[in-house]
Structure 1
Amino acid sequence: MYRSFYGLQGKPFELSPSSDVVYLSDSHQEALATLRYGVISDKGFLLLTGGIGTGKTTILNCLLKMVKEKVRVCVLNNPTLTRHEFYSFLAAKLGLAFDGDKAHFLVHFAQLLQDFHQNRQKILLIIDEAQVFPLELLEEVRLLSNQAGEDNVLSIFLIGQPELQEVLSHPRLLPLRQRIGINYHLRPFGRGDTERYIAYRLNKAGAANPVLFTEAAIERIHQASSGNPRLINIICDHALVSGFVRSSKLIDGEIVEECVNELRLPGEPGLTLSPGSELENSRPVKRRSRARRINSATAMLSVLTLVAAVGVLFYYLGWISW
């Protein structure tokens, strides 16, 4: 809708962009380098945490591109499984037979690891949304890693939201926690990264104007999103629609304020507002509307009272004349 108006070849702020439109902040690059080192250096367990929308999936996809030639990857992105379902899934992904017997699976799995070791290959088991993985299955994963012995063929990558750190602090998981060789927490964008990210996405979309967003607009976007890439995308896309409706060739702070106000939900933790902003002052409008309704009702009541009084007066004068 707004692409031709702003001279864009594509939508710059898609939530799921193509693989060639990936911006890596300093934090993302550090995370990627650290995790890649963990895989190639046989660190065993890797841990990546970060808030919703901070780019964990982006890091994962970049990592898989870098190691796919040397590593057999098994991704589990639905961790709400029973133990039987977990082993059945793992067997299917690794090409192993599974008859429901865990002992038989472990025999075949140990042989697979030995074959990979002889061929100088590795297996990377990735568990996404690991914060909801049952404790029993996390223990099974640790015991599964015992099958690799000292060959360092198996790496296990746990990805989750910050509460995963709390899950791993459970006493039952102490043996697993002690095996985590790489632990990285993904931070949100800083102010500079937010600006560079917006410019990068606009450039990739072929924007005719590289400074489509004003400094004030970028500042408000960063404040409202707290540097969260997913929220930045949502706000920027909404702002471009609003700018198009206004026929504005620049996205300024006022447009962003309006968009954040429209997008913000009650209790929404991601969109934050600075004290004294127009958004904070938008609530009294409802109070003023309510006050106008109250004043209207009061005026109507006064009119009705006056009509009643006049009626009584006429009735009384008529009675006297009679």
Structure 2
Amino acid sequence: MYLQYYGFSRKPFELVPKLDALFLGETHKEGLAVLKYGVISDKGFLLLTGGVGTGKTTLINCLAANLEITENLCIISNPNLNVAEFYYYFAAKIGMEFDDNKAKFLLLFSEFLKKCRKAQEKVLLIIDEAHILPIELLEEIRLLANLGAEHPGSLSIFLVGQPELLERLAEDRFLPLRQRIALRFHLEPLSRKDTLQYILFRLNAAGAQQGALFTEKAVNDIHLAAKGNPRVINILCDHALLTGYSRNVLKIDRNIIRECVEQQQLPGDEGFYSLPKKKRFWQRGLFWLLLVILCLEGVGVWLAFRFGLIDGILQFVKNLLNKG
């Protein structure tokens, strides 16, 4: 609706960005470097964690594009599968077959890894939303990791999920799997600086024709309300542009952002969509009045000491007490 009004060629704040609209903040750049190093250096088993909407899926898609891996790549976005479904999907993605015989598949897969190693190729298995992996699948992943260790450099496995994944892996029964993890990285939210750059980048990628569409205070409130979470930033910015369009406003200010924040608030938002309340005028006035009083009292005490008035006052009080 607002595309033509603001001069966009496409929606600037889509939740799933195209690769040419992919912004990497400092934490994402660091995470991408760590993951690329893990694959290139044959670390085998890697772990990527981050909160909801921090860009984990975006990062692994960027990784796959950077490594230019098209064959032998399997990304499982919904790991809530049984063992047979898991092996069937995995086999299909790497050009193998699974006929419900797991032992047979593992033997064939071991031979497949051997050939990959000789050809200097890799199999890359990425499991997104790994925090909801069934326990039995975690055991199967351990078996695959063991096979990969027999043919170094042929298999990389990524577990990608929310921080709850760390709690699951901390259980004693997952110690063998945990010991296989060679590298781990946790995605942090965007900083305020990155939030500003992120918004400008997405606007420019969408063909924004005019200058800054969001005021500095508006960006600051977006960052505070979203806690630096890219997904929430997208939602707020999209809502704000729609609101601005409906009111014929070319520049989004903090009043529009605060209104959008209030409208987006829902139970269970994990602290998102909230801003510090503005201090009332009388509260600010009272603060400054008290500060002035304290300063005057401090100056009075200093003057009393400076000119010897304190000694005179103390002597006067002492004389009164003696007379009493």
Contact 1:127 1:159 (C-alpha < 8 Å) held by counterparts? yes
2:312 match: none
In the TM superposition, residue 70 of structure 1 has moved relative to its aligned partner by 8.1
Does 2:67 correspond to 1:67? Answer: yes
Q: Distance in 2 between matches of 1:17 and 1:257?
A: 25
Does 2:214 correspond to 1:213? Answer: yes
One-letter amino acid of the counterpart of residue 184, structure 2: N
CA pair 209-179 structure 1, distance change in 2 beyond 3 A: same
Contact 1:130 1:158 (C-alpha < 8 Å) held by counterparts? yes
Q: Distance in 1 between matches of 2:190 and 2:97?
A: 45
Q: Distance in 2 between matches of 1:90 and 1:267?
A: 35
Contact 2:128 2:160 (C-alpha < 8 Å) held by counterparts? yes
One-letter amino acid of the counterpart of residue 35, structure 2: L
Q: TM-score, normalised by structure 2?
A: 0.82
Which aligned pairs between 1:165-204 and structure 2 lie closer than 5 A? 165-204=166-205
Q: Distance in 2 between matches of 1:145 and 1:190?
A: 36
Contact 2:117 2:154 (C-alpha < 8 Å) held by counterparts? yes
In the TM superposition, residue 266 of structure 1 has moved relative to its aligned partner by 2.8
1:305 match: none
2:49 match: 49
One-letter amino acid of the counterpart of residue 221, structure 1: I
User: Secondary structure of 1:49's match?
Assistant: strand
In the TM superposition, residue 60 of structure 1 has moved relative to its aligned partner by 0.7
User: Secondary structure of 1:79's match?
Assistant: coil
CA pair 207-178 structure 1, distance change in 2 beyond 3 A: same
One-letter amino acid of the counterpart of residue 194, structure 1: T
1:314 match: none
CA pair 150-252 structure 1, distance change in 2 beyond 3 A: same
Q: Distance in 2 between matches of 1:81 and 1:6?
A: 44
Q: Distance in 1 between matches of 2:108 and 2:95?
A: 10
Contact 1:79 1:128 (C-alpha < 8 Å) held by counterparts? yes
One-letter amino acid of the counterpart of residue 106, structure 2: L
Does 2:27 correspond to 1:27? Answer: yes
Contact 2:215 2:252 (C-alpha < 8 Å) held by counterparts? yes
Q: TM-score, normalised by structure 1?
A: 0.82
Does 2:252 correspond to 1:235? Answer: no
Q: Distance in 1 between matches of 2:143 and 2:198?
A: 42
Contact 2:114 2:151 (C-alpha < 8 Å) held by counterparts? no
In the TM superposition, residue 14 of structure 1 has moved relative to its aligned partner by 1.3
In the TM superposition, residue 7 of structure 1 has moved relative to its aligned partner by 2.4
In the TM superposition, residue 203 of structure 1 has moved relative to its aligned partner by 1.0
Unaligned runs of 5+ in 1: 279-322
Q: Would you say how many aligned residue pairs link Structure 1 and Structure 2? A: 278
Does 2:229 correspond to 1:266? Answer: no
1:319 match: none
Unaligned runs of 5+ in 2: 280-324
Q: Distance in 1 between matches of 2:126 and 2:116?
A: 18
Contact 1:126 1:159 (C-alpha < 8 Å) held by counterparts? yes
In the TM superposition, residue 150 of structure 1 has moved relative to its aligned partner by 4.4
1:128 match: 128
In the TM superposition, residue 206 of structure 1 has moved relative to its aligned partner by 1.6
In the TM superposition, residue 176 of structure 1 has moved relative to its aligned partner by 1.0
In the TM superposition, residue 96 of structure 1 has moved relative to its aligned partner by 2.3
Q: Distance in 2 between matches of 1:187 and 1:273?
A: 19
One-letter amino acid of the counterpart of residue 25, structure 1: G
In the TM superposition, residue 271 of structure 1 has moved relative to its aligned partner by 2.1
In the TM superposition, residue 53 of structure 1 has moved relative to its aligned partner by 0.9
Which aligned pairs between 1:149-164 and structure 2 lie closer than 5 A? 149-164=150-165
1:111 match: 111
One-letter amino acid of the counterpart of residue 98, structure 1: F
CA pair 3-98 structure 1, distance change in 2 beyond 3 A: closer
In the TM superposition, residue 16 of structure 1 has moved relative to its aligned partner by 1.8
In the TM superposition, residue 244 of structure 1 has moved relative to its aligned partner by 1.4
Contact 2:72 2:93 (C-alpha < 8 Å) held by counterparts? no
Q: CA RMSD in A?
A: 1.6
1:225 match: 226
CA pair 109-160 structure 1, distance change in 2 beyond 3 A: same
Contact 2:264 2:273 (C-alpha < 8 Å) held by counterparts? no
Contact 1:231 1:270 (C-alpha < 8 Å) held by counterparts? no
Q: Distance in 2 between matches of 1:78 and 1:98?
A: 19
One-letter amino acid of the counterpart of residue 196, structure 1: Q
In the TM superposition, residue 272 of structure 1 has moved relative to its aligned partner by 4.1
1:292 match: none
Out of 115-124 and 79-88, give the one that drifted further.
79-88
Cα deviation, 1:75-114, whole Å, max 9, x if unaligned, reads 1222111122222222222222322221111111111011
Contact 2:43 2:156 (C-alpha < 8 Å) held by counterparts? yes
Contact 2:262 2:273 (C-alpha < 8 Å) held by counterparts? no
In the TM superposition, residue 71 of structure 1 has moved relative to its aligned partner by 6.3
